């Protein structure tokens, strides 16, 4: 229901764009664009096969995408909890320079296509992509990186994955951003931002995971190797995505855009966003763009029939540029968002690399490693804040090669970083959530749903919000397998459900739990909780209670 409606709204914006399933190579660019264009829409665009339907659907429904995403998450959780959907093994982002460039693309695309793609994304969401969802989650973060890498490399495959991922974004964003679209890009960006951070982290994790598994040694030894590994993973992912995408022919517009060429253009855009700050801006811009996307001045050529899709894509790129100027305030918001950005990718639903499915443990490890690592300096700072409790968090970049403009690591340093990384991985393993744990989480969710505000009689089995609550909690478990479900979350989600639409509720929920304090609590990270409490106490002492000082 909602989906169709939303789609309608979306359709108004860029229904055509969404459906466009470009060829693998093209698809990447297009997908990227789509994703960038609309939070929701971008994702939808990713999947080519459903495009036509999606377009229609998109036109009809915008809201559905987020819901679909959630559902997908849930489905994914049910089916693939273990694989760590969110963990896309995409190290590309981490890889460094190449990925950043790619990232900008995706952002740009998302921005531009956002509004248009929403509808498409929604449609996509409707389409059965549950697998994609899970994968998508992981894919999101990695996806971008991969995309970037691919773009840099000129890979066509990446497109497919990206498109999927993007769709999820679009969906999620759609709901939240949907309103925002009308208002402006700002609101969407806000939503996205919190999510993005997790996603990014996920991406990073994925990369980490990959490294540990096999490439890890390489990456550790040489940052470059890590990058390559990530790229490979991305490529893999892309390849996986490609076929799928290929199946669903991209919209005419997308096709017209052509695979390679569009990519290049997009890639440029993405490059801009790569840096955390830039990315954040880009994202925010993108976010803004989706809503603003349609209004955003598109090149005349783009405006053509196929142009619609092109517009969306480009609009993403343009959006990046314009957004900054048009939405300076939002940009700030975006920055803030960027810090907590992980969520983005989740929403984006970047299709996880099916080939790269990792065990939950691996995923966790990767995730933690990721948190520790940060490809981008700005993100690191934010991450550090979020993960102060994690040991060696500052070593996020450990395995990363240094930028070419900085002196390379010495052998000793590289070895030490390698060791630190191994320690982080080991720590992550300790904390790591096993598949069994995740399954247990799902069981527990079932148990707790009916125990949530029982006096209201709306969350019990058969109640109107039983399934919604289940979906959101399950989706979050997929979204953040490192956190999973913790008793008590159901009440937070329930309160949000009572006040927001499902998709919005999920986004708000994910973002809320991404706050350092909440995250620390739900991870039952005593050291972090203790640290934060002590910090508060110290601050309090300074302000008022001298007695405490002594």
Partner 1 sequence: MAKAYDHLFKLLLIGDSGVGKTCLIIRFAEDNFNNTYISTIGIDFKIRTVDIEGKKIKLQVWDTAGQERFKTITTAYYRGAMGIILVYDITDEKSFENIQNWMKSIKENASAGVERLLLGNKCDMEAKRKVQKEQADKAFSSLARDILLKSGGRRSGNGNKPPSTDLKTCDKKNTNKCSLG
Cβ–Cβ < 8 Å for 194, 341:
yes
Among 45, 444, 493, 496, binds partner 1 (CB under 8 A): 444
Question: Shortest gap between Cβ of 447 and partner 1 (angstroms)?
Answer: 4
Give the per-residue contact string, 460-499, with partner 1 (x = CB under 8 A; - = no).
------------------------x-xxx-xx--------
Residues touching partner 1: how many (CB under 8 A)? 19
Query: Closest CB to partner 1 among 32 and 444?
Result: 444
Binding status of residue 432 toward partner 1 by CB under 8 A: no
Binding status of residue 515 toward partner 1 by CB under 8 A: no
Residue 29's Cβ-side half-sphere holds a number of Cα atoms within 13 Å equal to 33
Find the binding residues for partner 1 in span 293-322 (CB under 8 A).
none
CB burial of 462-499 (b: ≥16 within 10 Å; e: otherwise) equals: ebebbbbbbbbbbbbbbbbbbbbbbeebbebbbebbee
Query: Closest CB to partner 1 among 456 and 548?
Result: 456
Question: Shortest gap between Cβ of 543 and partner 1 (angstroms)?
Answer: 29
**Which pair of tokens denotes residue 11?**
């359709």
* Integer Cα distance of 418 and 427 in angstroms: 14
Q: In the 8-state DSSP scheme, what is residue 212?
A: I
263: CB partners within 8 A, 6+ apart: 25, 26, 28, 29, 32, 105, 151, 154, 156, 159
364: CB partners within 8 A, 6+ apart: 84, 205, 428, 429, 431, 432, 433, 481, 482
24-37 and 39-46 helices, crossing angle to 10°: 160
Query: Closest CB to partner 1 among 317 and 484?
Result: 484
Question: Shortest gap between Cβ of 491 and partner 1 (angstroms)?
Answer: 8
Q: What separation, in Å, do the N-terminal and C-terminal C-alpha atoms of the chain show?
A: 62
Binding status of residue 455 toward partner 1 by CB under 8 A: yes
Cβ–Cβ < 8 Å for 33, 266:
yes
Number of other CB atoms surrounding residue 154 within 10 Å: 14
* Integer Cα distance of 100 and 271 in angstroms: 5
Give the per-residue contact string, 357-386, with partner 1 (x = CB under 8 A; - = no).
------------------------------
Query: Closest CB to partner 1 among 441 and 514?
Result: 441
Query: Closest CB to partner 1 among 149 and 486?
Result: 486
Question: Shortest gap between Cβ of 490 and partner 1 (angstroms)?
Answer: 7
Among 448, 482, 502, 504, binds partner 1 (CB under 8 A): 448
CB burial of 121-140 (b: ≥16 within 10 Å; e: otherwise) equals: bbbbbbbebbbbbbbbbbbb
Question: Shortest gap between Cβ of 512 and partner 1 (angstroms)?
Answer: 16
Give the per-residue contact string, 520-539, with partner 1 (x = CB under 8 A; - = no).
--x-x-x-------------
Query: Closest CB to partner 1 among 189 and 441?
Result: 441
Residue 251: name the closest of 71, 72, 12, 46 by CA: 46
Among 385, 402, 451, 535, binds partner 1 (CB under 8 A): 451
Question: Shortest gap between Cβ of 455 and partner 1 (angstroms)?
Answer: 6
* Integer Cα distance of 138 and 240 in angstroms: 14
Query: Closest CB to partner 1 among 1 and 456?
Result: 456
Query: Closest CB to partner 1 among 75 and 478?
Result: 478
- Enumerate binding residues for partner 1 (CB under 8 A): 437, 440, 444, 447-448, 451-455, 484, 486-488, 490-491, 522, 524, 526
């Amino acid at each position: 229901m909602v989906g169709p409606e939303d789609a309608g709204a979306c359709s108004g914006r860029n229904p055509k764009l969404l459906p466009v399933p470009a060829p693998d190579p093209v698809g990447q660019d297009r997908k990227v664009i789509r994703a960038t264009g609309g939070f929701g829409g971008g994702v939808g665009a990713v999947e080519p096969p459903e495009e036509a339907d999606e377009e229609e659907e998109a036109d009809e429904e915008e809201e559905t995408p987020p819901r679909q995403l959630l559902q997908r998450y849930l489905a994914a959780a049910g089916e693939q909890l273990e694989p760590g959907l969110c963990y896309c093994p995409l190290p590309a982002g981490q890889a460094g320079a190449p990925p950043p460039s790619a990232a900008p693309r995706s952002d740009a695309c998302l921005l531009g296509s956002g509004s248009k793609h929403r509808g498409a994304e929604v449609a996509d969401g409707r389409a059965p992509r549950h697998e994609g969802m899970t994968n998508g989650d992981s894919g999101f973060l990695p996806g971008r990186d991969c995309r970037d890498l691919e773009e840099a490399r000129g890979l066509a495959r990446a497109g497919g994955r990206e498109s999927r991922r993007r769709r999820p974004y679009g969906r999620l964003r759609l709901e939240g951003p949907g309103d925002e679209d009308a208002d402006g890009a700002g609101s969407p960006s806000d939503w996205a931002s919190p999510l993005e951070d997790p996603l990014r982290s996920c991406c990073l994790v994925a990369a980490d995971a990959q490294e540990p598994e096999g490439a890890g040694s390489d990456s550790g030894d040489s940052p470059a190797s890590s990058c390559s590994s990530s790229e490979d993973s991305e490529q893999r992912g892309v390849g996986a995505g490609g076929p799928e995408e290929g199946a669903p022919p991209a919209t005419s517009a997308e096709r017209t855009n052509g695979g390679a060429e569009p990519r290049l253009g997009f890639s440029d855009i993405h490059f801009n966003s790569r840096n955390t700050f830039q990315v954040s801006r880009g994202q925010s811009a993108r976010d803004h763009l989706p809503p603003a996307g349609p209004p955003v001045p598109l090149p005349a050529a783009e405006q053509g029939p196929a142009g619609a899709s092109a517009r969306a894509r480009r609009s993403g790129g343009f959006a990046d540029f314009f957004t900054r100027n048009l939405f300076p305030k939002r940009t700030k918001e975006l920055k803030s968002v960027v810090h907590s950005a992980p969520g983005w990718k989740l929403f984006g639903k970047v299709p996880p690399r099916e080939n790269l499915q990792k065990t939950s443990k691996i995923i966790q490890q990767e995730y933690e490693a990721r948190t520790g690592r940060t490809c981008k300096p700005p993100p690191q700072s934010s991450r550090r804040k979020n993960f102060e409790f994690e040991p060696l968090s500052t070593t996020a970049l450990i395995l990363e090669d240094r930028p070419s403009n900085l002196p390379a690591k010495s052998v000793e340093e590289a070895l030490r970083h390698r060791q630190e990384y191994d320690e982080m991985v080991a720590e992550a393993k300790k904390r790591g959530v096993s598949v069994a744990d995740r399954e247990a989480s799902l069981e527990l969710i079932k148990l707790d749903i009916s125990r949530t505000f029982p006096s209201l009689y709306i969350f019990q089995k058969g109640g109107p919000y039983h399934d919604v609550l289940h979906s959101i909690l399950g989706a979050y478990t997929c979204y953040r397998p490192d956190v999973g479900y913790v008793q008590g979350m159901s009440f937070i989600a329930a309160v949000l459900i009572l006040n927001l639409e499902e998709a919005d509720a999920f986004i708000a929920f994910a973002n809320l739990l991404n706050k350092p304090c909440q995250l620390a609590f739900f991870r039952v990270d005593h050291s972090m909780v203790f640290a934060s409490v002590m910090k508060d106490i110290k601050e309090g002492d300074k302000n008022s209670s001298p007695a405490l000082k002594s």
